[in-house]
Structure 1
Amino acid sequence: MKRFISLTMLVAAVVCGMVCVRANADSSPPKRRVLVVKSRDISFYAPASQGFVKGLKSRGYGDTTDITILALSGDKNQDQQTIKAQIQKNNSLIFTLGTDATRTIAEAHPTCPCVFSMILDPISLGVAKSLAQPGGVFTGTTLQVSAGKQLDALQQILPQAQKVGLLYTDGDATSLAFLSAATQDAAKLNIEIVSKAMTPTTDRKAALEELAGKVGAFWLIVDPASAGPQALADTLDVAKSHKLPVLGTSSANVHAGALLALSANLQDLGDVNAEMAAPLLDGSAQPGQTSVRGPRQTMLSVNLDAASALGLTVPNSVLRLADEVVDSGAAKSGSK
């Protein structure tokens, strides 16, 4: 009889254990869902996207988080439908890269926390009331290294630069805000900004040719009319024919042929976004009360090949500060 009771108790204990394990499994919290939206499927957004994902994982949001990454196509109707479908899912947080992605998400009226990155002016874009207190569901980081710092870097190599030309999208609030600040910063360095507004019907090459006769350098700014793929190619082409240096927006511009760029370290910028996202995911912070941040690290890139073609000598003081130097001559001599 005792043996029967012991066996019964053993079976009961096993069954109870199985029920408890099942109960614990059923009670485990559901995975968080993070949606990452890039303005386009181009390499420009890759470092920040990678930095963000890596940063989340390093902060404990790896196995417990499903991360979905998508890119806008540029077709407004198609993109709106795609985002509408994604917004209806149970997102814990949305991370946007670039102006188009941020604007498209904002127009879909999300209710979950949203973190933006790689934009210039969130206030002009309408996703923040102020940098200190954004309000609403958005916060994030700006891409912008101050115009004054960029122009100062150009002057270190080209002290004779007095006029700098740039293109921008006509009526774009973000570019107009940047241009206003840039004009003030440039005046402190005795530099004049000569700008040309671009409309869909403006001939970019003709506009650049017009600027080339008035300025000593071109400046690419974060605006599709200025630094989009075709705009970059056109600017470099006209600059080459007139022997004008180009101040770029990123390391990629410098590798393409620009003389230099002082830009945000995009991988680190993504990590800053992850640092901001972590308390939003665990509920210990609210986006509307989380201050917008700027780049934590900047990156100076210099193209010695471009300098040589222009007959310029880059001071050693600049080279010592450079994070990246493009020099095919050094690569060739090193391979011998």
Structure 2
Amino acid sequence: MSKKLLVGLLSLLPFMSPAALAADEKFVAITQIVEHPALDACRKGVQDELAERGFKVGENLKWMYESAQGNPTTANQIAKKFAGEEPDVIVAIATPSAITAAAAARNTPVVFSAVTDPLGAKLVKTLEKPGGKVTGTMDMLPIDKHLQLVKRIVPEAKIIGTIYNPGEANSVSLVERLKKESADAGLVLREAAVTKSSEILNAARSLVGKVDAIYLLTDNTVISGVEAVIKVGEQNKLPVIAADTDTVTRGAIAAYGFNYYDVGRQTGGIVADILEGKAPGDIDVQGVEKLELYLNPGAAERMGVKLDSKLSEEAKEIVGG
């Protein structure tokens, strides 16, 4: 190519169409069932990991995000919309969004995040090299360790309560596990069901006088309105312990769980692999092994609990006041 021709072609760059200039741009669409700190941190982790891998919003990455605000019908609408947009990857945070995205986007890779039981939700048939277009990260809870924590905080506890939405597949799976683990730990479990966040306050009140502590799973409906449970706990000296560390900053006494920002970073790595050409079906579904203990001594005092000093020594972070 002559020097004159090269200079001439370079001079045309400012006049090239946006489509031509964006030929190397990747497109990631992210759907989230509801906005609350844990899932928001997960989404931030995905974006940060992609940036570290060279996919930066505003430079070479188009980023589309929508929240279903806790409404499964809206989640389905978002999934269909994203499928029509034909992104390179759809990221689905939490089980309800993952189920709708996988059903709608048959020809687009779907990477799920913060999904408790991808096998039970029928997102994949196997965790190792799942095949097809779907893979991601799961946050199956170590419920046995959580119940040990409940016993350390409330040694006299014999009956525990939990609140969940039976419309969430991940929550149903977790409650079934909690029933078994509670029995194995010598505890009786009482359940309160909700279908929307406005029902959480009455569900929590229904447990007062019937349980010795409330243990909250990672139910998206409940966590989105967890302040109602905290309020009941403080008013009735009823300890509230959580599976989600972000809930401790919102007023629960303690949680032994995942840092959802780290879950997002792990998910972002999978997305980057796919953007770089790896087939999603060849990527194993990944679990999260790192657990952290968060404590809120102020919440413990308000709920009538005195924390063991050894717990403070073990805590990754002490929050609240």
TM-score, normalised by the number of residues in structure 1: 0.81
> Are the equivalent residues in 1 in contact too, given 2:72–2:96 (CA < 8 A)?
no
1:88 aligned counterpart, secondary structure: helix
Q: Which residue of 1 aligns with 2:6?
A: 17
What is the count of residue pairs matched by the alignment?
A: 313
CA distance in 2, matches of 1:225, 1:77: 14
* Matching of residue 239 in structure 1 with residue 228 in structure 2: no
Q: State the secondary structure of the residue aligned to 1:124.
A: coil
Question: Are 1:269 and 1:297, in contact at CA under 8 Å, matched by a contact in 2?
Answer: no
Residue 72 to residue 197, structure 1, CA distance change in 2 (3 Å):
closer
- C-alpha separation between the residues in 1 aligned to 2:173 and 2:185? 19
Matches within 5 A, 1:1-336: 13-18=2-7, 21=10, 30-62=24-56, 63-74=59-70, 79-170=75-166, 172-198=168-194, 205-224=201-220, 226-229=222-225, 232-284=226-278, 286-328=279-321
Relative to structure 1, the CA distance from residue 83 to residue 174 in structure 2 (aligned partners, 3 Å threshold; closer, same or farther) is closer
% of aligned pairs identical? 24
Inter-partner Cα distance in structure 2 for 1:176 and 1:76: 16
Give the letter for the 1:99 counterpart: T
Q: Is the 8 A contact 1:144 1:264 kept in 2?
A: no
Distance 1:86 1:154, change over 3 A: same
The superposition leaves residues 254-276 of structure 1 with CA deviations (integer Å, 9 ceiling, x where unpaired) of: 22221111221111111111222
Deviation at 1:221, TM superposition (A): 1.5
1:74–1:282 distance in 2 versus 1, CA, 3 Å: same
**1:256 alignment partner AA:** R
Higher CA-based Rg: 1
CA contact (8 A) 1:44 1:252 kept: yes
Unmatched segments (≥5 aa) in structure 1: 1-11, 329-336
**1:5 counterpart residue number:** none
Deviation per CA, 1:299-330, whole angstroms, max 9, x where unpaired?
A: 321110122234433222211221221242xx
Q: TM-score, normalised by structure 2?
A: 0.85
Conserved 8 A contact 2:166-2:194:
yes
Shift of 1:80: 4.1
Task: Return the alpha-carbon distance in structure 1 between the equivalents of residues 69 and 301 of structure 2.
Answer: 38
Q: Which runs of 4+ in 1 moved over 6 A?
A: 22-28
Structure (1/2) with the larger helix percentage: 1
Q: Is the CA contact (8 Å cut-off) linking 1:272 and 1:296 kept in structure 2?
A: no
Once the two structures are TM-superposed, the CA of residue 32 in structure 1 deviates from its matched residue by 1.2
CA gap of 1:199–1:137, structure 2 versus 1, over 3 A, is: same
